[in-house]
Structures are given as C-alpha cells and as structure tokens.
Structure 1
C-alpha cells in the first residue's frame, strides 16, 4: 500500500536468550482526528481513506481482524490495545468511548446495528461521517448542528402532531434507558408487540429505517406510557378479531384485556349510534358479519387527545371526542 503499512517488527536480542519481542507498529502517517461523538467504525473508515487503503486492510494492520469494524464495547475484549493505541496515537479510554453500549439485556431494541439515519449537513461537511447518537432510537435531531436527522427511507409530509407525539415517546424511551427502568422497558416492548399485531404499520420498530413506521412506533411508546388503556380501547374498539388474537398472544394479561373491553363498551355508550348509522343490522362488511373499526370515531378520539393532551381527565377526553364525532357525523346534540 502507498502508506507503507508494514508487518510488526520482530527483534531477536540474543540467540542465547531465544526470546522474541514484538514491537508495536509505528503511528499511521495520516491521522485525521475523530469528530465529537464519532462512531469507531466511522473513524476507522476515514483513517483508511486518509492512508489510501481499505478499511479491511487497516483493521488487519491495527490488530482488529478482518471484516466488519468493531463498534460495540463488548467486542473489544480481544483487542491488542498496545498495537492499536500506538498506531492511531489515542488512549484506550478515547477509543472505547467511540463504541456503542451493550444492549443485550434490554427488552426494547433502541440501538440500531446499521446507519438508519444521518445528518445531511454534517455528512456533507465530512464525507463518511457517522456519529454515535445517530444510532439511538430517541435521536431525532443532530446534537452537533441541531438539524433534523434524515431517515434512510423518508416519509415525505409528516404532520406536526405525529412529530410531537413521537418526540415525547422518544424522550420517555431515553429516560427509561438512562435510569435502567426494566419495568417500563418491558411495558414498551409489550406495547410495540400489540401495535405490530394490529397491522398499524409493517414494522413497529423504534429503529426502523422507514421514517413513518418509526414515528408511529415512538408515538405508540408515548401512548402506552401515558394513557395505555384508553389508547388500546380506541384502537381495539369494535375489533373483536384483534382482541381475540391479542388474548392468544398474551394469555397472561387476561385481566388487562377485560379492563380494555369494559372501556370499549363505555366508549360505545359515549358515542351512540355508530354501528347503526355506518353498518345497519344484518349488513355484512368485507364478506363477514364483523363490523370494522369506525374511522370517524377514531379520528375524533385522536383529535380530542391532541387538543386536551394525553394527561387530561378521561371523562373530559371522552366528552370532547363525543362532541367532535357528532359534529363530523352531522348528529345533533
């Protein structure tokens, strides 16, 4: 290679001693400093380009092995730190700080193994740059420049309401991880499983590369933490098939589903005449006798939560949703 990355020098002090001492390689000729919060794999890639070699060749020279560059702190156990630190002229602490944490013991997958989002401004200024916080589910803006992060598959036009709810969900998730709140993380995981089973989106993942799916998942986290039963009742209202599917998937939560069912009946009382006006008695929907969920009632409930806030009193939320639904349906009070 043009850099002259040579093999480690082997010295033989004396034939009588018959010992071999391996001298760490010299520093790399070109060593661009790492950016603030830069990911180790990103910096290794930039080092390789600066020294006119491939990342695989550089990893071999640094003693990191061949293939994918190490990124997680738990993958650095077998690293030859003397060789690595000598070559890049950085301390072990500085290099370890560029890796990602171990998330094996957490219920929610909040850390992506791939670059599912990036900052257009920072990436344009420094080609090949990837920062650590871009990999976290709760990161919606770049901590370096403040610009909104761009998803790998952007959604196009997104409502301000969805963005606001997703931002609250991201904050709740970050707080739970920072406090190692395993109980809340398990509850979030259950919420995302429910959303996946309801076919609200193809992937209820907070690290989805699809922007809309990720925003919906983060919003579900917010609803699941603030008004879990009311949110589930709104989604499941009139959808007995989904309720049965959830019962089979989560048999240990029977009492919770009974509470949700009771709340859905209460919603029916607060929003009277929905099924009769939209699905007359005996009329079949999509070839079956099971009515589908009312889109107008669902929109009314969502608007009520948006107007009054998720922390509002349940009676006030239901009354407001009732008024919105009647007005949109042309029903006199």
Structure 2
C-alpha cells in the first residue's frame, strides 16, 4: 500500500484521478505515542512544519489533532495512504473526547514527561503522560517528572497520592459517576479551604498535584472525619461551605456537629491553647483552623488513613494542643 488513488469531480464535471503517495520519510510511532507528537516528528523528518503537513494529510491547516473528535472531518483515504496506517491505528493514537463528569483528569497540555524516553527520542509525547493518574512511565517504568518539580516530597505523600491516582483511574475506567462526584466535591473543598493554591490533579506544580491526588485518596476513606478536624472552631469556613455548596447543607451540618462534638469526646484543652486576648476573633479562628489542619495531617500521616477513628481524633487533638501551646 505504497500509494492510493482518489477520484473527485473537477469544476467542469469530469472525474479526476489523483495518486496519493506515502510520505517519503516515516519514522515509526512509539508505543502509546500521541498522534500530535508523531505528526510533529513526521513533519521534522520531511522538512516541513506540522501545520503544512496537516494540510497535505487532509486535516486542514488548523490545530494538530489530539482528540478523536479532531478527526471527524479527516480525509481518511488521503490520511491512511500518506501515513501507511489504518483508520483504527490512527484513531488509537488520540486522546479520549471530553468525559461525562466534572473531574478534569486529561490534561490539554504536556504537564509531565519521562526524562528517559525524552532523552532517547526528543520531542516525543506519550498518551498516558496526559492522564492525571499516571505517575510512572508505562514504557520504561521511570517516575514521570513535572514541569515544576518540588524540592522535597515525603514518601507518605507519594504513597497517598498513588492511592488517590489509582482510585481516580478506577472510577474513570468504570465510569463510576457517584465516586467521581465525590472526588470533585473533595477537590472543591480543598481548593476553597486553601489547603493548596491549586486543587488540580493535572497541575504542573508537583506538590500541588500530589496534594490533590492525596486528598482524593483520603476523601474516599474518611471524608467526614477529615473535614470535621479541619473545620474545628472555624465558623467562617462553615459559612463559606454553606454558600458554595447550597445543595449539600445536610452533609455540612453533619460535619459541623461532628466538629463540635470533638471537644466533648477528647480531653479538655489547657488554658494555653486559647489565643492571646490581644488577638482579634478572626485572627484567632484562622490560626486555630491552620493548626487544626496541620494536626489532622500529621495524625493521618503518623497513624495512616485506615487507623481507628478514636485513635486519629486523640492523636490529632494532642498535636493540636502542642501546636497551640507553641504558638501561644
């Protein structure tokens, strides 16, 4: 299949036969390579721009195709003849179209890459590098690198992010809309409470992305407990939750009651825990919220997300009291 013939009508009404030849230079696509990446390498091998090559292939002069929907107007006879690939093989190199849920887990940009594969084949982009749940390269097993790497990442954060990534991948694969909505709510709460500057699972900032994935993992196991510890003594955050999530007031009230119940279930706090009198009420609440959040993270980090609920509460309260006494 070195060439193909295509017939079309000329302005005079005659049938014109055009012979389509394959591209003279066709480097083989890598396993799981993104179509846009391969077209870019084909263009470089044939000494033209990617836009010019798209025009020659019958894809138009616009954006280089990445999603399956970008090929709806493709001239498949011309495209298959020039690339020497079947329609199914070409379609398999594209990203899935927009998914039917609100969790954005397919990145429109190259936010991570494999240093080993890129060194071996410059300018290459593989499909799974665009997925939020991908943390290691499926080709060589190397840990994927982000555009903005963190200076130091703990093993615990990496482990929890991996659990969250696996949960996200499973929910997308099975199209579990209930779990995906729960993940979306978790990311909204994390973003609103300013746990991180971004709650995106496709952030180019490594720490922010790992925090978002870890939040998904924890949110799938103990979401109410974690939220109650974070909201402890923070009425402002409770009011903000009610405003942002008006359809979930029953759940928010349940979390609020649980956070209020913590004081009765845990040992009394010493006087040193209270903020100095010269602080304003707002400053006191914000400081208490930050310390409560830090205590919750440390307790879950020490005991694990599957630890006994009472043990988590007790340990978080002990850490909270220690932090409060230091701040005072």
TM-score w.r.t. the length of structure 1 is 0.88
Q: Which residue, out of 252, 256, 276, partners 2:251?
A: 256
Cα 1:289–1:112 change in 2 (3 A) is closer
Report whether the alignment pairs 1:47 with 2:45.
no
Report the equivalent of 2:315. Answer: 320
Provide the rounded CA distance (Å) in 1 between the counterparts of 2:281 and 2:135.
Answer: 40
Q: Cα RMSD between the aligned structures?
A: 2.5
Aligned-pair CA distance for 1:91: 0.6
Report the equivalent of 1:174. Answer: 169
Q: Secondary structure at the match of 2:228?
A: helix
Cα 1:191–1:298 change in 2 (3 A) is closer
Q: Which residue, out of 196, 205, 209, partners 1:201?
A: 196
Report the equivalent of 1:23. Answer: 18
Q: Secondary structure at the match of 2:268?
A: coil
Q: Which residue, out of 257, 269, 272, partners 1:273?
A: 269
Provide the rounded CA distance (Å) in 2 between the counterparts of 1:32 and 1:70.
Answer: 18
CA contact (8 A) 1:141 1:149 kept: yes
Cα 1:285–1:212 change in 2 (3 A) is farther
Aligned-pair CA distance for 1:314: 1.1
- What are structure 1's unaligned runs of at least 5 residues? 1-7
Report the equivalent of 2:217. Answer: 222
Aligned-pair CA distance for 1:264: 1.1
Cα 1:100–1:282 change in 2 (3 A) is same
- Mean Cα deviation higher: 17-26 or 115-124: 17-26
Provide the rounded CA distance (Å) in 2 between the counterparts of 1:12 and 1:288.
Answer: 77
Superposition pairs of residues 1-333 of structure 1, within 5 angstroms: 18-269=13-264, 270=266, 272-273=268-269, 276-280=271-275, 282-285=277-280, 288=283, 290=285, 292-293=287-288, 295-325=290-320
Provide the rounded CA distance (Å) in 1 between the counterparts of 2:320 and 2:230.
Answer: 16
Cα 1:108–1:280 change in 2 (3 A) is closer
Partner deviation per Cα, 1:138-160 (whole Å, 9 max, x = no partner) = 00111111111111111121111
- Mean Cα deviation higher: 288-297 or 105-114: 288-297
Aligned-pair CA distance for 1:301: 2.9
Cα 1:57–1:99 change in 2 (3 A) is same
Provide the rounded CA distance (Å) in 1 between the counterparts of 2:46 and 2:188.
Answer: 47
CA contact (8 A) 1:24 1:82 kept: no
- Mean Cα deviation higher: 206-215 or 310-319: 310-319
Provide the rounded CA distance (Å) in 1 between the counterparts of 2:239 and 2:17.
Answer: 66
Partner deviation per Cα, 1:158-196 (whole Å, 9 max, x = no partner) = 111111111111010000000000111111111111111
Cα 1:76–1:280 change in 2 (3 A) is closer
Provide the rounded CA distance (Å) in 2 between the counterparts of 1:179 and 1:283.
Answer: 55
Q: Secondary structure at the match of 2:288?
A: coil
- Mean Cα deviation higher: 236-245 or 260-269: 260-269
Provide the rounded CA distance (Å) in 1 between the counterparts of 2:97 and 2:216.
Answer: 22
Q: Secondary structure at the match of 1:230?
A: helix
- Mean Cα deviation higher: 30-39 or 192-201: 192-201
Cα 1:30–1:286 change in 2 (3 A) is farther
CA contact (8 A) 1:112 1:136 kept: yes
Provide the rounded CA distance (Å) in 2 between the counterparts of 1:273 and 1:167.
Answer: 36
Partner deviation per Cα, 1:177-226 (whole Å, 9 max, x = no partner) = 00000111111111111111111222210001111111111111111111
- What are structure 2's unaligned runs of at least 5 residues? none
- Mean Cα deviation higher: 132-141 or 233-242: 233-242
Provide the rounded CA distance (Å) in 1 between the counterparts of 2:267 and 2:32.
Answer: 52
Partner deviation per Cα, 1:111-159 (whole Å, 9 max, x = no partner) = 0011011001100110110000000000011111111111111112111
- Mean Cα deviation higher: 299-308 or 229-238: 299-308
